[in-house]
Structure 1
Amino acid sequence: MNRPVVLGCCLWITGYVLAMAVPNQDGSWLIGAGLLAALISLHVLRLPGRQPLSLVLLVGIAFGYYQWNDQRNVSALLSLAQQQANLDGSEVTLHGRFTSPVSVDGDRASFTLEATSLRFQDDTAFPLRGESVQVTLRLAEQAQQGVVAGWRRGDAVTLGGVLRSPAPARNFGGFDYRRYLRLHHTHWLLTASGVDQALVQPAAARISATGLLRWNDALRAALSARMDRIFPAAEQAGFMKSMLIGYTDDLDPNRFQQFSELGLTHILAISGLNVAVFLGAVIWLLRRFKLTRETILLVCIWLLPCYILVTGASPSIVRAGLMSMIALIAARKGFMKDVLHIMAIVAWAMLLWNPYYVLDVSFQLSFLVTLGLIVGVQRTGKLLEPWIPHTLLRNTAAITLVSQLISFPVSIYYFNQFSLISWAANAVLVPIISMVVFPAGLAALLIGFLYMPAGKAIGTGIGWLNQGIFRVTDWLQSFQTYKTIWPTPSLTWMAAYYLCMLAIYALWRSVATAGEPRPLLTYDKRRGKRRSFRVSPLTALLLSLSTFALLLWIGYSPDRFHRKGSVQFLDVGQGDAILIRTPYNKHLLIDGGGTVTFGKPGEAWKLRKDPYEVGAKLLVPLLKKRGVHQLDFLVLTHEDADHSGGLQAVAEQIPIKQFLFNGTLKSSPGIAKLFGTLLAKHVPLLPAGLGDWLVIDPQTRIKILYPLQTMPTEVSLASEQNALSVVLLLEMQGTRWLFTGDMEKASEAEVLSYLRDQPADIWGSPSSPDGRDDGFSSSSTTTGRKIDVLKVAHHGSKTSTTPEWVTFWQPAAAVISVGEKNVYGHPSPDVVGRLEDGGAQVFRTDRSGEIQMEIDVQGIKSRTKLEAN
């Protein structure tokens, strides 16, 4: 084994992966300890076969170590929760200390509290052993922002509020906040209102780990404030803060989204590039003072931990900083110059410190890309030499190619998008930012502390350069064709990708270095005469490239031949969002949810920098994860915020072929912006009206049942939208689905009156243009007006779903899209009872989370997210 540390680190990670795949086993720490003792004994006694046995034992030790740590990650309140059945949602008072800085955003302050005791309203108190609690404090007035900004890490606090367990993911593939907090050893949330609920006592100044972190928080705040003065605009300051000190609170969310789509987020994350520039600047400065090489290395070693802390200590900066420290120590002592060994030591140390790092995207990308650059850049550069003779261009191409190929599977796994021109963005912008903007930013910050006018002058120059960079990214982002959406790949697909890449590299190298053609594989068989089968390296390379292309084709649309339609009722809270996938891979989205806000004049201070928005935070990520490359139909049943609010983000990020709406406009800024975006993207706007069946694919069609008018030629204004909701009847693979928006009793009566007056053949299958079978099952046209699934109108409100409506449609199942613990009291018990009495199975998103229904030969199969857990 030439690199035993590297191999050991890989096996350690393998043990972690196995531990995550297997449920936690009792006594796993004993198993790990026993295997560790066996490993030590093997090498102490120098037993035969110890090397292969050591490999197996190392995997087992890692398995036990991970599960032991995971089993210990439980709440100190677990036993109390068993005693107090109503602990979740209880009003309590916690006493403890701040373990994080206080973040203030609009009318909310958030921080982490380490609780040492808990007291209920009846004064019953329980001691705790340092329970980590995530706190959200709603501020009552603007002056309270200054009060909470004065709280510091380590201060003692007594705080009253409502204790809750974090919510799990409510949609398949959605963000799981409970899991996220657990990976940070936090199991409870506390919500409080007003600073009068908190009694804070400043901590005494003393030398300790908390004191060091407290000092570091103050330094980061001072640097942030200084950059606000140095750089000319808020967007500039936020951009430079992210790049220089890893402070992302002030980073423009739209700019971050843009950099993410172009594959440039590594610029905004402190990593090895920043460490290299920082060390280069420090070494250049120290050399001006004529210091010796050993002294310069020693100073750099001591400065790196400070730099890691000041820049936020994310996994990527910890990795880069520790690797640099080990490399500097090795350079000073003259030993162990193998960079792969250094990387493996750092990775192993970080995984021992916190096994959950293995699940962190920053950790994964940082080490993967670093590994690729160490192993692949020089070799790839040699292979590119015949095509790119210029050294600088060749090295830039090699770095860009290797980093893009290595990071691609992990990037699409977490972010589900990839820009085909990200290589150009990286090749052009990364050298400018790393060689000019970052060093100049450091200089401006340092000089700004000594003499502010000079720092501001440099900051102004950087601002002009940044504006040019932003113009380039704006221009690159305008090329919508080059943005691709990828569904979340399986781990098997990712493993196949990397194996295929290794094969291509080995064969490419074989072809490039072969002096004359020779067979790579030969096969001889004698049956009376000699037969020979030969595969040359070039042929094998072409086959590998073809396999790689096929792998990408499968990964881009793995369900393209999945001939089962599905309807997915997404849980967007108090709103509607329904995703339909047809048997021929067409996608329809009905409504997009939305967040209803109630603002008053003079409350601008309450606005958050990056508020939660259903479309951007929930809907669009889900569409991307499910591989929705485009929406063939986007239907807005009506323009109330709880149905339309999330569609702005959809219109901005997902290609749309056609947009169907109710033919009216509601006077609101959100609707104006949505329609403006659709027009700018040249999306056809179709006002809904009565008409013939609209065929989506050979087994799917839709019919508009309301509004009761032919397609209007003029768009009118309407402030009240519920009664104007578009009502759609969907037929797919022999099943019927009725989508009703927020229609009301009067609208239902109009629809019933219209349908009763229509001839029976209104339900008949349309004839195909060439007279052939259109593919629709006859079962959907011979069961009268009975439907399989009804989307209940207006979240189950008593303003709709009358007895006559239920009797007419006779739904086998009914879905109510409604927010958990909503303030409207939806759904109405009368409506739920009416549906159940009519024989319908009732599904509710407030209780079940997302509801997915798939059609197969046996009928409609359903599954729900919360029950699936």
Structure 2
Amino acid sequence: MRSQAGFYGTCACMIGGLAAGLAGRSWAIGCVLLFCIASLYYTKRSFDDLSIRHRLFILSLTLLSIVYGLACEQMNRTSLPDAMNGRIVEAEGTIVSGIKLDGDRLSFQYRVSKLRTPDARSAYSHAAGRGTAEEDVEEIRDLHEKMQVTIYLESQAEQQEAASWIRGMEIRLTGELQIPSSARNFGDFDYRSYLKKQRIHWQIRMEGMSSIVIKSRPGLSGQLLLGSIDRFRNHLTDLVWSLYDERYAGFMQGLLIGDQQRLPQDLYDQFSDIGMTHVLAISGLHVGVFTAGCFWMLKLLRLTREKIYAVSFALVPMYVLGTGASPSAVRAGLMAMLGLVALRLGRWKDTLRFLLIAAVGMLMVNPYFLYNISFQLSFVVTFGLILLVPRIAGMIRLRSAAISGSLAVTAAAQIFSFPIVIYYFHLLHLLSPAANLLLVPLVSVLILPLGMLSLLLGVVHTALGAWPAAIASLAAEGLFRAVEWTAGWQGLLTIWPRVPFWWIAAYYLLILFLFIGLPRLKGLISRRLLKMLVLLTGSLFISLLLYAQIGDRWRQAGIVSVLDVGQGDAILIRTPHGRHLLIDGGGTFRFGEQEAWRARRDPYEVGKDTLVPLLRRRGIQRLDAVIATHLDADHIGGLHAVLENIPTERILYNGTTKDSAYADRLVHTAREKGIPLIRVSAGRTWQADKDTRLQFLHPIVDQEGNGEAVPEVSDQNGASVVFLLQMQDASFLLTGDIGSAEERKVIDYIQEAGARNVLLPDKRFIDVLKVAHHGSRYSTSDDWLGYWQPAVAAISVGRNSYGHPSEDVLGRLMEHGVKMYRTDEHGEIQFMSSGGKLYLRTKYWGTEGEHP
């Protein structure tokens, strides 16, 4: 027991030291050292057999872990200057990852050994302060920089050629060198940070494969060996698709080979909603079934127990490599191998020790596994199973040990995975525990073993594998229907905002104290005191859950966020009393008919990939209103995904129709979800809460209802909804895509209404103007700016070929003394109204301040 405590403490200190070193923050390192010293002091008082030398050894390992983490982070740098960004380069190197082919998009990781460009050396040397352009050569040798390559294929022949590529191939290519993009909105996915944790700092973008030259005879290397494994996996993939119908083949490919590239996105989303994606990733479940299958087959061959252990030990790493060697698969493989050793030596009770050995070993090889979601979930859940399953099973005490064990495993897994799941995915389906309890055994007992058997027999002859494949398909159909039915209970899908790190630490400490600490206090303290501790711990635990669910709803501040969605509009409003409004939803453009071979399984879509995750990350349980200013694709294209995934109270729109797929889909989704479509026009107001009022100024409709907003309008810009948002003491004018003609009509309408004593904006001098039509030169006239006299202008714009924002508009804004912020330069632009002041911050360049 004493040596175990010392070993656990040593591993915990090493992992904590490594994490602090990678974080590179003095406060993190200080916390780890304080924890280490406190642990050693506790150890000294409790276990006198640990010598001073042993304690100093633990402290030394912790310090070395910190230094190792700091060194890894310091060395994780690029050797190329930022001046190389956007240049066309010719690179030579080796493919060092599996090939991902999705429609007309090909991507892989590439180890560059030589980089050549007409001015590459000049830029490199100038940045380093060496020489002049005249003295420099045109190439950089011995670079050894890993890069992400993306190729947009130009023909189906190129797609077929790319399908034959494998890891280890040496190629020469020419493309544009780019710095990976970082998060454009607060809390958004950061692709640059994601690649950095894989030691990648550059990407190369190419159009077509015409400039690629493949080396005919690549040298023997470890990458080429891995490439041979990739080729073997490709053969297994072909076998899966020959054994299974299309409905099941993508699922079985992910389940058996660990390749989810062809898994239907809607099926993955359903598994994700009910918290069952872990069955789709190679993990302990799959390795356990494989190891059990090996035992069964080797036993049929009448091998001795010792030989069965030895052969299984050798086969497990082959299985892990053959399924892609993801962090969860590596963890499970190491645990299985250590478990086999433990069985052979009769030390099966040391499971926790083996788990920590596997964790430390993997982190010493690659410290950045700490940031990998698969690694975190795999180890945390396994740790929870080891600690809690015996205790929970003892509490349940059912007659059937199997049922007690199953309930305990499900409960322990849900309890320990919960903080990580809501931190990264922000979703929890209330039926998730029941789904895992009932459906995971279907996978582990029937579908997965039959699938493995179908591949094993299918290698011999396809007809032999067809029989188990047919049974597995029937079971998979039952699984699909159960998952679809469960995911259909959308009302039980809860959304959780991102929780802080202190919350996660407090959660796990309370769980450990509740299940391990309190039981050990029995007999040491009075029963009354024990009950009080149980009530206190339970109350703290419930308070933590309420805090995580409620988020900032009690915060009395209004926030207007001009989101960066590229060339489009999306504005999120949080009122001082916690109501949420979404103005437009951006859009992803599709031009013309697409050839079938170009179609991607999961194409980027701004609503699904940017807006919905962002809303969930900010803990938005429902939208009180969606306002579609007009029906153009760059304003409503992303709203379909929002309405599908976020409960919405109402949709306000301009009262027109348009002959477009985007408009039809918006209306169809609203009717399907039972969301009322409410027409708004000039003169209407909406009191969103007691401190928030919307006054609509456009479209202007006459009393007979036959005004400018006609039933069908092909050119929607002039029919845009315009409204003045007054929130506490701040005012925002949101303008859609109106032009200067509509601006003049709005001004005239306000002046005429004022003459008729109609209640209209009582504040002409506004704080923030959302510049109309992304800064088009046909909008934001001098008259408009002179009438409203805004202090700040926000321009929602992305990369485009329209010349937005126009130099004319920028010039007019400067002449009127208006401060300008643009989403293409500043990222998200966020305004917060609180305490009578208006605060501003942007995602880029740290622009922060207050506007009286």
TM-score normalized by structure 1? 0.89
Could you give the per-residue CA deviations for residues 147-169 of structure 1, whole angstroms, max 9, x where no partner exists? 22222222221111111111111
Specify which of 201, 204, 211 is matched with residue 187 of structure 1: 201
Q: How does 1:432-581 map to 2 (within 5 A)?
A: 432-506=442-516, 509=519, 519=526, 535-581=528-574
Measured after TM superposition, the shift of residue 52 of structure 1 is 4.1
**Residue 222 of structure 1: which of 210, 235, 239 is its match?**
235
CA contact (8 A) 2:729 2:833 kept: no
Q: Which residue of 1 aligns with 2:825?
A: 847
SS of structure 1 residue aligned to 2:838: strand
Letter in 1 for 2:433: W
| Contact 1:164 1:190 (8 Å CA) reproduced | yes
- Name the SS for the 1:168 alignment partner: coil
Equivalent pairs counted in the alignment come to 809
Instruction: Quote the offset at 1:506 in angstroms.
Output: 4.5
Residues 548-598 of structure 1 show CA distances to partners (whole Å, capped at 9, x for unaligned) of 112111111221211011111111111111111111111111011111111
Instruction: Find 2:107's aligned residue among 110, 128, 132.
Output: 110
The one-letter code of the counterpart of 2:584 is D
**Aligned counterpart, 2:222:** 209
Q: Which amino acid aligns with 2:24?
A: V
**Aligned match of 1:360:** 372
Secondary structure of 1:157 counterpart: strand
- 1:370-409 equivalent positions in 2, closer than 5 A: 370-385=382-397, 388-409=398-419
Deviations 1:609-658 (A, max 9, x none): 11111111111111111111110111111111111111111111111011
Q: Which amino acid aligns with 1:116?
A: S
| Percent of matched pairs sharing the same residue | 41
Residues 383 and 509, structure 1, Cα contact 8 Å, conserved in 2 = no
Name the stretch that deviates more: 265-274 or 134-143: 134-143
Letter in 1 for 2:588: T
> Which secondary structure does the structure 1 equivalent of 2:643 belong to?
helix
Query: Are 2:772 and 1:793 aligned?
Result: yes
User: Is this contact kept in 2: 1:444–1:456, CA < 8 A?
Assistant: yes
Q: Residues 714-754 of structure 1: CA distance to partner in whole angstroms, max 9, x if unpaired?
A: 98232221111111211101111111111122221221110
8 A Cα contact 2:431 2:492, kept in partner = yes
Shift of residue 832, structure 1, vs aligned partner:
1.1
Q: Structure 2: where are the runs of 5+ without partners?
A: 38-43, 120-136, 848-852
Q: 8 Å contact 1:691–1:710 — kept in the other structure?
A: no
**Corresponding residue number in structure 2 for 1:768:** none
Deviations 1:107-134 (A, max 9, x none): 1211221111111136811113311111
Query: Does the CA-based 8 Å contact 1:689-1:710 persist in structure 2?
Result: no
Range with greater deviation from structure 2 (535-544 or 847-856): 535-544
5+ residue gaps, structure 1: 36-41, 521-534, 766-779
Alignment partners' CA distance in 2, 1:710 and 1:580:
30
Q: Conserved in 2, the CA contact under 8 Å of 1:786 and 1:810? A: yes
**Rounded Cα–Cα distance in structure 2 between residues aligned with 1:479 and 1:715:** 39
- The aligned residue for residue 694 of structure 1 is 686
Please tell me whether residue 339 in structure 1 is matched to residue 347 in structure 2. no
Give the CA deviation at 1:466: 1.5
Q: Given the superposition, is the C-alpha separation of residues 48 and 382 from structure 1 closer, same or farther in structure 2, using an over 3 Å criterion?
A: closer
Contact 2:328/2:375 (<8 A) preserved = yes
| SS at structure 2 position matched to 1:484 | strand
Q: CA deviation at 1:857?
A: 2.3
Query: Does residue 19 of structure 1 match 2:21?
Result: yes
Find the partner of 1:288 among 296, 300, 308: 300
Q: Is the 8 A contact 2:168 2:225 kept in 1?
A: no
1:7-65 CA distances to partner (integer Å, 9 max, x unpaired)? Answer: 2221112112322443499xx9xx9xxx9xxxxxx9xxx99634444444333221111
- Letter paired with 2:193: R
1:646-657 maps to which residues of 2 (within 5 A)? 646-657=638-649
Quick one: distance in 1 between partners of 2:654 and 2:685?
17
**Residue identity in the other structure for 2:648:** I
CA distance in 2 between partners of 1:710 and 1:444 (Å): 71
2:147 corresponding residue in structure 1: 133
Distance 1:445 1:738, change over 3 A: same
Query: C-alpha displacement at 1:350, in angstroms?
Result: 0.3
* Partner SS, residue 195 of structure 1: coil
Answer whether contact 1:77 1:128 (CA < 8 A) is retained: no
- Tell me the TM-score normalized by structure 2: 0.91
Q: Secondary structure at the match of 2:649?
A: coil
Cross-structure match for 2:123: none
Q: Structure 1 382/333 Cα, relative in aligned 2: closer, same or farther at 3 Å? A: closer
Residue pair 1:579, 1:587 contacting (<8 A) in 2 also: yes
Q: 1:347 to 1:474 in 2, by over 3 A?
A: same
- Distance in 2 separating the partners of 1:747 and 1:203: 67
1:507 to 1:104, Cα distance in 2 relative to 1, 3 A: closer
Contact 1:743 1:800 in 2 (8 A): yes
2:422 touches 2:428 (CA, 8 Å); kept in 1? yes
Aligned to 2:622: 630
Q: Single out whichever of 537-546 and 476-485 deviates more from structure 2.
A: 537-546
Contact 1:507 1:537 in 2 (8 A): no
Contact 1:5 1:344 (C-alpha < 8 Å) held by counterparts:
no
- SS of 1:77's equivalent? coil
The equivalences for 1:33-44 within 5 A come to: none
Q: Deviations over 1:240-263 (max 9, x none)?
A: 111111101101111111111100
Residue 59 of structure 1: aligned partner: 62
CA deviation vs aligned residue, 1:751-777 (integer Å, no higher than 9, x gap): 111011122797969xxxxxxxxxxxx
- Alpha-carbon distance in structure 1 between the residues aligned to 2:667 and 2:113: 53
- 2:461 & 2:61 partners in 1: Cα distance? 56
Does residue 93 of the first structure (1) align with residue 90 of the second (2)? Answer: yes
SS in 2 for 1:717: coil
Q: Name the SS for the 1:716 alignment partner.
A: coil
In the alignment, structure 1 residue 350 sits paired with structure 2 residue 357: no
Residue aligning to 1:726: 721
User: In the aligned structure 1, how far is the partner of 2:102 from the partner of 2:824?
Assistant: 28
Question: What pairs up with 1:723-802 in 2 under 5 angstroms?
Answer: 723-759=718-754, 781=762, 784-802=763-781
Quote the Cα distance in structure 2 between the aligned partners of 1:862 and 1:264.
41
- Structure 1 residues 205 and 221, CA, compared in 2 at 3 Å: closer, same or farther? farther
Q: How does 1:112-261 map to 2 (within 5 A)?
A: 112-121=109-118, 124-204=138-218, 206=220, 208-233=221-246, 235-261=247-273
Specify the alignment match of 1:775 in structure 2.
Answer: none
- Secondary structure at the counterpart of residue 210 of structure 2: helix
Instruction: Tell me how far apart the structure 2 counterparts of residues 373 and 710 of structure 1 sit (CA, whole Å).
Output: 68
Check conservation: 2:446, 2:475, Cα contact below 8 A.
no
1:675-727 per-residue CA deviation (whole Å, 9 max, x = no partner) reads 22221221121112234421111111111111112796998232221111111
Distance 1:255 1:217 in 2: 25
Equivalent-residue separation in structure 1 for 2:299 and 2:575 (angstroms)? 67
Equivalent residue number for residue 40 of structure 2: none
Task: Please tell me whether the aligned partners of residues 565 and 732 of structure 1 are also in contact (alpha carbons under 8 angstroms).
Answer: yes
Q: Root-mean-square deviation (CA), in Å?
A: 2.5
1:591 aligns with 2:584: yes
Which residue of the partner structure matches residue 8 of structure 1? 10
Q: Which residue of 2 aligns with 1:76?
A: 79
Contact 2:393-2:404 at 8 Å conserved across structures: yes
Quote the Cα distance in structure 2 between the aligned partners of 1:581 and 1:791. 17
Contact 1:590 1:634 in 2 (8 A): yes
What are the superposed Cα offsets for residues 495-541 of structure 1, whole Å, 9 maximum, x if unpaired?
11112222332577479x77xx9735xxxxxxxxxxxxxx4323332
Q: In structure 2, what is the equivalent of residue 664 of structure 1? A: 656
Q: Report how far residue 201 of structure 1 moved.
A: 1.5
Instruction: Tell me if structure 2 keeps the 8 A contact 1:595–1:613.
Output: yes
Q: Give the direction of change, closer, same or farther, for the CA distance of 1:694–1:482 in structure 2 (3 Å limit).
A: same
Question: Structure 1 residues 299 and 687, CA, compared in 2 at 3 Å: closer, same or farther?
Answer: same
**Matches of 1:195 and 1:403, distance apart in 2:** 46
Tell me the residue number matched to 2:792.
813
Aligned residue in 1 for 2:326:
314
Amino acid corresponding to residue 310 of structure 1 in structure 2: G
**Aligned with 2:666 (options 674, 692, 697):** 674
Between the aligned partners of 2:476 and 2:582, the Cα distance in structure 1 is: 38
